[in-house]
Structure 1
Amino acid sequence: MIDIHSHILPGLDDGAKHMEESVRMAKQAADQGIHAVIATPHHKTTRYENDRLAVLEAVHQLNTRLREEHIPLKVHPGQEIRVFEHMGHTFDETELLTLNETGVYVLIELPSHEVPRYTDHLIYNLSTQGYIPIIAHPERNQVIIDDPDVLYEFVKNGALSQVTASSLTGKLGKKVRKFSESLIEHKLAHVIASDAHHIDHRSFDLQEAYRSVRKRMDTSYVKQLSENAYDILNGERIHLYEPTRIKSKGLFGFLK
C-alpha cells in the first residue's frame, strides 16, 4: 500500500518533532501494510518553511534509520505547498518539490476557509508547465463544502484532489465524512492518503478508509484509487473517470 501524503519527517512538522517519533510512525505505517510513504511537510505557511534541500536531507536521515531498524518502509520526498500567488508563474524546483521528485505531481494546500482568487490561474499555469497539481484535503475547505462546483471546475481544468483517510472514517466529523463520500461518489477525488501527523492522533487509517469506500463503490473503482497512488509515486499518468457535479440540494446533508 502506498501513502502519498504524510507528515512523517523528523523535526519538520508538529507531527514528527524528532527522529524517534518518526520511527514510531514508520513502524505503525508498516504494520498497516504501507510500504512506501511520500513525506509532505508543510511549506510556505505562516509557520513552516521546509525547502527542497531540507526535505531531501531529512528523508535521507530517516531512511538510513529505518534500514538500521529493519523497518520495511521507504520514505520519498515531497512537500505540501500552501498556495501563493506567484507559485505557478515559474515553478522553482530549486526550492519546491514535486512528489518523489518525478517532475510531475505537485501537492498544494488551500487555506481552510478560503480559495484564493488566483487559484484557477495557478492551476492553469502549473498545467502549462507540465505539472499536475493535487489539491490536498478539499473536503476540509469551507468554500468547497459550501460550493462543490469550485472543486469541479478545478478538476475539469486539470487538477486532481486527494481525500484524507480519517475524513472517510469519520474521525474528522460527520459533516466532513459525508462530504468526502460525496466527492468519491462523484469522481471528484482521485486518491486517498493519510495526512498522518502523529502516532496517536491523525494516524494512517488507510485500510479503514478503503473499507469505507468499498461499501459505497464498485471494486474496480476502489482498485483504481489504490493504483492511482502507485502511479503518482512513479510519476505516471493516472486513470481519470469523468467527474460529475454535486447537486446543490444535497448540500444540506453535509450540514447536519
Structure 2
Amino acid sequence: MIDLHSHLLPNIDDGSKSLRASLRMANEAVENGIEAALMTPHHMNGHYVNHKADVIQLTSQFQEHLDKENIPLQVFPSQEVRINGGLIEALDNDDILFADDSNRYLLLEFPDDDVPTYSEDMIFKIMQRGISIQIAHPERNTKIMADPDILYSLIEKGAIAQVTASSYVGSFGKKVQKFAESIIAHNLAHVFVSDAHDLPNRDYEMREALNKLNSVMGKAYQQQFEKNAEAIIDGNNVEKLIPEPIVKRRFFNGF
C-alpha cells in the first residue's frame, strides 16, 4: 500500500515533534499495511516554509533512521503546498516537490475554511504547465462542504482529489464522514491518504477505509483507489470515473 500524504518528518511542521515519535508513526504505518510513503510537510502555508532541498535532505536522513531500526518503510520527499500568491514563482524557482520524479502531480492545499477566489485561475495556469493538481482533504474544507460545486468544477477541469482515510471512517465526526462518502459516491475522489500527524484522531486508518470502500462501493472501486496511488507516485495516468455534481437539499418555507 502507498501513502501519498503524511507528516512523519520530525521537527519540520505540525506532524511530529521528535524522531522517536516519527519512528513510532512509521511502525504504525507498516502495521496498517503501508510499504511506501511520501513525506509531505506543509509548505508556504503561513506557518511553515519547507524548501525543496531541505525536505530532500531530511527525508534521506529519516530513511537512514528507518533502515537502522529495521522498519520496512520506504519514504520519498514531497510537499503539501498551500495555494498562495507566490506559488507560480516557487515553481519557476524549482522550490516545489511533486509526488513523482517526473514532476507531474502537485499536492495542493486550501485554507481549512476557504477556497480563495483566485484558485481556479491559478490552478488553470499550473495545469497549463502539464502539472496535475491533487486537492488535499476537500472533505474537511468548510467552503467546499457548503458549496460542493467548487470541487465538482475543479475535478471536471482535470484536478484529482485525495480523501483522508480517517475522514471516511468517521474519526473527524459524522458531518465530515458523510461528506467524504458523498464525494466518493459522486466520483469526485481518486485516492485515500493517511495525512498522518502525531495528534489525536490522526492515525493510520488506510486499511479500514479501503475495507469500507470495498463493502460500500465494490471491489473494483477499492482496487481503483489503490492503483491510482501507484499511478500517481509513478507519474502515470490516474483512472477516473465521470464526476457527478453533489446536489444539496434545499428547503423553502411555504412550499
Q: TM-score when scaled to structure 1?
A: 0.94
Indicate the larger mover: 42-51 or 15-24.
15-24
Q: How far did 1:166 drift? A: 0.7
Residue deviations 1:92-128, cap 9 Å, x none? 3621111144311000000111110111011111111
Structure 2 residue aligned with 1:231: 231
Task: Work out whether 1:192 is the aligned partner of 2:192.
Answer: yes
Q: Which stretches of structure 1, 4 residues or longer, exceed 4 Å deviation after superposition?
A: none
Q: Distance in 1 between matches of 2:59 and 2:239?
A: 29
The amino acid that maps onto 2:159 is: A
Q: How far did 1:86 drift? A: 4.1
Does the aligned pair in 2 maintain the 1:191–1:228 contact within 8 Å? Answer: yes
Does the aligned pair in 1 maintain the 2:149–2:245 contact within 8 Å? Answer: yes
Does the aligned pair in 2 maintain the 1:138–1:163 contact within 8 Å? Answer: yes
Structure 1 residue aligned with 2:14: 14
Does the aligned pair in 2 maintain the 1:24–1:199 contact within 8 Å? Answer: no
Q: Distance in 1 between matches of 2:92 and 2:20?
A: 32
Does the aligned pair in 2 maintain the 1:37–1:74 contact within 8 Å? Answer: yes
The amino acid that maps onto 1:175 is: K
The amino acid that maps onto 2:156 is: K
The amino acid that maps onto 1:141 is: N
Q: Distance in 2 between matches of 1:7 and 1:100?
A: 17
Structure 1 residue aligned with 2:171: 171
Identity %: 41
Does the aligned pair in 2 maintain the 1:124–1:158 contact within 8 Å? Answer: no
RMSD value over aligned CA atoms? 1.6
Structure 2 residue aligned with 1:147: 147
SS in 1 for 2:123: helix
Q: Distance in 2 between matches of 1:93 and 1:100?
A: 18
Q: Distance in 2 between matches of 1:44 and 1:152?
A: 25
Structure 2 residue aligned with 1:70: 70
Q: How far did 1:89 drift? A: 6.5
Q: How far did 1:199 drift? A: 6.9
Q: How far did 1:143 drift? A: 1.2
Does the aligned pair in 2 maintain the 1:76–1:100 contact within 8 Å? Answer: no
Task: Work out whether 1:81 is the aligned partner of 2:78.
Answer: no
Structure 2 residue aligned with 1:59: 59
Q: Distance in 1 between matches of 2:143 and 2:18?
A: 35
Structure 1 residue aligned with 2:43: 43
In structure 2, the gaps of 5 or more residues are: none
Structure 2 residue aligned with 1:28: 28
| Counterparts of residues 99-138 of structure 1 (less than 5 Å) | 99-138=99-138
Q: Distance in 2 between matches of 1:195 and 1:155?
A: 21
Count of paired positions: 251
Does the aligned pair in 2 maintain the 1:40–1:77 contact within 8 Å? Answer: yes
Q: TM-score when scaled to structure 2?
A: 0.94
Q: Distance in 2 between matches of 1:201 and 1:15?
A: 12
Q: Distance in 1 between matches of 2:244 and 2:79?
A: 29
Indicate the larger mover: 10-19 or 21-30.
10-19
Task: Work out whether 1:95 is the aligned partner of 2:95.
Answer: yes
Residue deviations 1:40-77, cap 9 Å, x none? 00000121011101100110000011111111100111
Does the aligned pair in 1 maintain the 2:171–2:201 contact within 8 Å? Answer: no
Q: Distance in 2 between matches of 1:12 and 1:101?
A: 22
In structure 1, the gaps of 5 or more residues are: none
Q: Distance in 1 between matches of 2:93 and 2:74?
A: 23
